A and B are shown apart, each in its own frame.
Chain A
Amino acid sequence: MWKFWRTTDPGLLRDVGLVCLADAIVGVSFGATTVAGGLPWWLPVAMSLLVFAGGAQFAAVGVVLAGGSPVAAVAAGALLNTRLFPYGLAVADVTAAGGRWWTRFIGAHVVTDESVAFALRATDPARRRAGFWLCGVALFAVWNVAVLLGVLAGGAVKNTGAFGLDATFPAVLLALAMPALADRRTRAAALCGGTAAVALTPFLPAGLPVLAGLAGLAAGWRRRRAGTSSAPSGVSSAAASGSAVSGSGVSGVSG
């Protein structure tokens, strides 16, 4: 532990603090909107502890608030979290370090856009470790406290519509998608998918239009295969979101 703190420079503490502050605001919003939408208080709390992935939490609750089935909600959340697999590969050396077998299993739970970004922005193994663990553990604590505060606030405020809280859900989802939309083909696919989902909403059971929107992927994907097969540009890999976090100090809410 002492070795850990010696490698923790003030710049890292400040940047992790900024990321935590940003995610705290989003966490409060998540807790408040969820209970304001009529869902039980334990749902956002349990999700934040057990799932601990902001984007997936917003997506799953968004589907349920729209009247979708739990299966559709879980499918939406799980699809968003597939990106955690390559993230896990990217930080495998970090969570395995230290020689104890259980650090991997604890480390895995705090793999988020943010903690991976902090691991990737350093090359020195000790600094990679310090960045990952400091961000991961701090974010876990801050996110869960923030969601709880949001739950309490959301329960206390009577007319949440007047505060525009219902607009925060789609805003978060859109902002999360933004880095990947820099890729032209992904943007075309998302436009098709989004239009299809909205157009189908009056006719299909809730939750299905969004999953049907995935068909928009075929449009972008066919064009991608027809065009050059390169173009990794703009697609938000762990490295891309890493530069986003270290660049602006605040970014995604996967944590």
Chain B
Amino acid sequence: MVFEIIDVIISGLINGSVYALMAVGLTLVYGVTKAFNFAYGSFYNMGGYFAWMLLIPLGIIGGYFSVFFAAIPVLFAVGYLLEKVLVSPLRKYDDWEMKVMMLTLGLSLFMDFGYQTIFGPRIKSLPGMIEGTLEIGQVVLFHQDIAIFILSVGGMLCFGWILKNTRTGMAVQAVAQNPAGAQIVGIPKDFIFAATFAISTIMVGLGGILLCQKTFVDPMGSTDIMIKAWVITAFGGMGSISGSLYAAFILGMLEAFVGWHFGMIYVQIATLTLLLVTLAVRPRGLMGRE
């Protein structure tokens, strides 16, 4: 019993860490550009399929190391282009927020069925990053889980460092605080918008590569991921990075415990209930700013 609970906690922690990586990307893009991206889950699957394509049919040398190395520029390019071509032309309309939601929802449907057309409707499984287990007493830890945890937390710390210490990161923060003011002091606002969108694509794509090893690459699983990422973001407070971090771990744990005790079918219901209760008490989420 005790060891089962420890297992559940570990799985909650690992899921939570990957969710945190994805939710931080989403909250960043919302905080900076105010674009509500409904195609977020499809970018998660893009990461999964990208890794599958490189590892299984192409059999790339270097395994996951090369996958990560190749994925970051590709995901950045895809995100950057999509923002430039699809989202930024809408910005000049009054009701662009609604239009972006509709557009990204259509894009998500297009991408999901695009994956189905290209890769077939069957789910794909990714090989693990590293084999082997680590045993501490009676608790068994998979090396893969440890690697996923380290990589996603490391990715997040690395991202936090970029945001706080580099020039581009500070420009992103400036645009988030005051777009007009940032433009006055010479920050290229449109570039920052596109770059933020691209960075969030990288984060969710990496999340896909990491988490799909534990689950599967499922062409129809994207809405589930999208809802999870959005619930975490709203629960933590949109635009608040520390809020998303807490929310991701809380929801990862909740999911693990509800799934273990009541069954997976209740996970979504529990998640929604938590979201509704939180928003009823705190309309801007846990750490949201007014």
Q: Do A and B come from one complex?
A: no
